Amino acid sequence: MSILDSLPDEPEKDPSPKSPTPHNHWLDKEQQLMPPQVKADAPLRMVETAFLASTASLIWFINFYFPLGPVLRIFFPVPIALVYLRWGKRAAWMAALTCGLLLMVLMGPSRSLLFVMPYGFMGVLLGAAWYRRVPWIVSITLGTLLGTLGVFFQLWLLSVLSGQDLWIYAITQATEILKWVFFNLSLLASPSVFLIQVAAIALILLNNFIYLFVVHLAAWFLFDRLGNPIPRPPRWVQVLMDYEG
């Protein structure tokens, strides 16, 4: 017996190995050389969010130092709401945060807080309401409640910073209005403290309700032209706008 006969048998190789075809070989090379896919809308989202956040900050900045009446005030929450409609909730919160940080650098933390509460939060709230296509009465009511809380927050913050109770000014205005009403109604009684407090809160609610209604009208006309329409207004508003137009 020879040495070759005593060696163990080697496993037989597959006579038909699967060799890569030229087509598959080039596909593998292309996949290796191909760069990772990046979503094309990511840079656009970042740029638009930063641009609209800076726009909202600039509107607040100009209105603070060069007030033009209620014209610019209408557009305080509009850019952030547009961010929500175009890019969603996360981008809207980032826009509100960016506004706060930018105004903190330009005007200080106290004036930055005066914008963020309520207008920064209001922009996110209105964007969420318009994105979900809720009726105007619902979004206006929610915005009115948030705006009223914002007024109380602003009065508290300014009272702390100035060392004076600024709520007295609201009470004084409500008292004058009630005295005028009582005088025209020929009522000899004087308004009570409780009635004056209720009247002051009612005036703040009414002011915010009218403000939110005007904001909705401005967004209705503006966003339709930008390709991001909001829910349609009530029928009487549409008839009135058509009649006025």
pLDDT tens profile 160-176: 998 888 899 889 988 88
Rg of the chain in Å (alpha carbons): 32
Over 70: is that where the pLDDT of 1 sits? no
**pLDDT, mean of residues 116-129:** 95
Indicate whether 8 pLDDT > 50: no
Q: How many CB atoms lie within 10 A of CB 130?
A: 23
Instruction: Note the pLDDT of residue 60.
Output: 94
Q: How high is the pLDDT of residue 69?
A: 76
Note whether 179 and 244 are within 8 A (CB): no
Position 244 scores a pLDDT of 47
pLDDT in tens, 97-115: 999 999 999 999 999 999 9
pLDDT over threshold 60, residue 23: no
**By C-alpha distance, which of 79, 82, 155 is closest to 114?**
155
68-75: average pLDDT? 87
CB 86 within 8 A of CB 48: yes
pLDDT at 41: 76
Q: What share of the chain is helix, strand, coil (3-state, %, to 5)?
A: 75, 0, 25
Give the CA angle between residues 167, 169, 172 to the nearest 5°: 115
242 versus 243: which is more confidently predicted?
242
The sign of the dihedral angle between the CA atoms of 73, 166, 143, 180 is negative
Q: In whole angstroms, what is the distance from residue 88 CA to residue 241 CA?
A: 30
Side chain identity at 156, as an amino acid letter?
Answer: W
* pTM of this structure: 0.80
Q: Which of 74, 84, 20, 24 shows the shortest CA–CA distance to 52?
A: 84
Closest CA to 118 of 161, 94, 153: 153
Rounded Cα gap, residues 21 and 81, in angstroms: 55
What DSSP element (H or E) covers 171? helix 167-184
Is residue 213 within 8 A of residue 126, CB to CB? The reply is no
More confident residue, 6 or 108: 108
